[in-house]
Amino acid sequence: MLEAIDLVKEYPVRGSDRVVNALNGVSLTVGPGETLGVVGESGCGKSTLAKLLVRLEEPTSGRVMLDGVELTALTGRRLRERRRRIQMVFQDPYSSLNPRQTAGRTLDEVLTVHHLSGDARGRSRRVSELLDMVGLPPRFAERYPHEMSGGQRQRIGIARALAVEPQVLLLDEPVSALDVSVRAEIMNLLVRLRGELGLSYLFISHDVAMVRHLSDRVAVMYLGRVVEVGPWSEVLDRPRHPYTRALRDAVPVPDPRITGPIEATVTGEVPDPARPPSGCPFHPRCPLAEDVCRTVEPRLLDLAPGHAAACHVAARTAGQSGPVAT
């Protein structure tokens, strides 16, 4: 359904000839009806990836394929028609909505731009259907964003994405700005909509627990690269890459026997993407780093059926030296 092929995104550093490598050769696939979770620390390139997939930004190189059509090669009307099939739900439900438009007007505008649902009466009926779809009563059509809670605003954001009847939704940390109780409601809503509408999701988050709840497969990103990908149970329960293991171990687990401070699972800071380290980008923070890790960048290799990781130590342990995984 959706495929990213060797996506690269570079941003020039002002006043310098250097560039920031926000994405460095990212390749991913999302199948029909599948949810791919993308997890990693802030600054690893998750949101940049989402923007490239919907062409809010243009890649430096690489391709995006949507249902067999190269989205990165389209322009004008053909791009607008094809982009209806892939929509995005943003992290901040307040800043993603126009504060001067009611919820009804926001949804009506989408239908008008894409010539959907006929005349004004038809669009009004469709607005009511969209509100009901996300669990809001019709009266919310007259409310402005400041008159709604964070969870209600995010429901409007989801309804706006669904208005054009997409096949793929890119969810860019859709619950991180919400209260804990509201997060569960929105997550349950997303699960229900996926089943009812047959949607494919690319679910971006730094919260491993949320990714586990919603995803069929998980891709772990670090410094603009995919370092591990596979079924969620394999990646999160039996991680091959030390960075994935560190992310999993950083999730707090209630245990009355633990009374002292929680020890850090990795040390140091994420390297400057304008000055990435040689070899494996994770080696300055990795407890397993060897000499080869400091000089040779590891390839993403299949270490088990459907489970790939970019780690010299994991590859040697698994006895793998095969082709780069896709």
For residue 9, give the nearest of 28, 23, 30, 27 by alpha carbon: 23
List pLDDT tens digits, range 201-235: 999 988 887 888 889 999 999 999 999 999 988 99
Residue-level pLDDT at 1: 84
SS3 284: helix
Tally of CA atoms within 13 A in the half-sphere of 22 that contains its CB: 20
Adjacent-strand bridge partners of 37 = 203, 218
Confidence of residue 43 (pLDDT cuts 50, 70, 90): confident
- Calculate the average pLDDT of the chain: 87
Confidence of residue 144 (pLDDT cuts 50, 70, 90): very high
Adjacent-strand bridge partners of 9 = 23
268 and 274 Cβ atoms separated by less than 8 Å = no
Residue 259 has pLDDT above 80, yes or no: no
**When comparing pLDDT for 43 and 229, which is higher?**
229
Residue-level pLDDT at 253: 67
SS3 151: helix
CA distance 80 to 321: 42
Confidence of residue 49 (pLDDT cuts 50, 70, 90): very high
The most confident of the ranges 176-185, 221-230, 272-281, 313-322 is: 221-230
Residue-level pLDDT at 247: 85
Residue-level pLDDT at 268: 75
Residue 120 has pLDDT above 50, yes or no: yes
103 and 141 Cβ atoms separated by less than 8 Å = yes
List pLDDT tens digits, range 293-306: 999 999 999 998 88
User: Which tokens go with 89?
Assistant: 């739900």
| b/e per residue 30-48 (b: at least 16 CB within 10 A) | beeebbbbbbbbebbbbbb
Residue 5 has pLDDT above 90, yes or no: yes
Residue-level pLDDT at 50: 92
Adjacent-strand bridge partners of 111 = none
Residue written as token pair 């307040």 = 94
For residue 231, give the nearest of 220, 243, 247 by alpha carbon: 220
Mean pLDDT throughout 266-293? Answer: 85
Confidence of residue 7 (pLDDT cuts 50, 70, 90): very high
Residue-level pLDDT at 28: 92
Residue 231, exposed/middle/buried by CB under 10 A (0-12, 13-18, 19+)? middle
Tally of CA atoms within 13 A in the half-sphere of 63 that contains its CB: 11
241 and 319 Cβ atoms separated by less than 8 Å = no
**Least-confidence region, from 34-48, 174-188, 196-210:** 174-188
Q: What is the CA radius of gyration of the chain?
A: 21
